[in-house]
A and B are shown apart, each in its own frame.
Chain A
Amino acid sequence: MKKIGNFLSFSATDAKKKRGYFYTLDAIIAVIILVIGIMIITGFYFYAPDKEKSDAITTDVTSILSDVYISDICEETGSTCTCHYYPSLENPDVCRFLDPNYNLMDVMGLLYFKNRRNDINNTLTEIFVASGIKPANYDMQILLTDGPDTHQLFPLIEQ
Chain B
Amino acid sequence: MKNSRRVKAQIASLDIIISVIAIMILIGVIAIIISITIKPEAKAIYGGEVFRNIENIDGPNNFLDGYRINQTALTHFVTVGTYDSKKSLVLEPSTQFSSTRNNFTMFFLGKNGVVDITPGMSSYGHSAGSYSNPCNGHKQSFVYIRPVLKGQETRKGEILNMYVVVCE
Contacts and interface: CB of A to CB of B under 8 A. Distances in A.
Contacts of B22: 27, 31
B156 interface: yes
The interface residues of chain A, by DSSP majority, are classed as helix
Contacts of A38: 27, 30
A34 interface: yes
Residue from the set B30, B46, B161 with the largest chain A CB neighbour count within 10 Å: B46
Interface residues of A, number: 32
Given A67-B67, A72-B149, A131-B111, A56 B158 contact: no
Interface residues of B, number: 28
Contacts of A61: 147
Contacts, number: 79
A143 interface: no
Contacts of A60: 46-47, 67, 146-147
Contacts of B6: none
A73 B19 contact: no
A131 B114 CA distance: 11
Interface in A30-53: 30-31, 34, 38, 53
Given A63-B67, A73-B159, A131-B160, A56 B151 contact: no
Contacts of B19: 27, 30
A63 B26 CA distance: 49
A5 interface: no
Contacts of B45: 53
Contacts of A83: 156
A132 B47 contact: no
Nearest to B19: A30
Given A61-B147, A73-B157, A132-B111, 6 more contacts: A60-B67, A63-B66, A67-B66, A126-B111, A127-B159, A133-B147
Complex A-B, nearest 6 residue pairs according to Cβ-Cβ distance, in ascending order? A56-B47, A56-B46, A130-B111, A133-B147, A85-B158, A131-B111
21 contacts: A38-B30, A56-B46, A60-B47, A60-B67, A61-B147, A63-B66, A63-B67, A64-B159, A67-B66, A67-B67, A68-B67, A68-B157, A68-B159, A72-B149, A74-B156, A84-B156, A85-B159, A130-B111, A131-B147, A133-B161, A135-B44
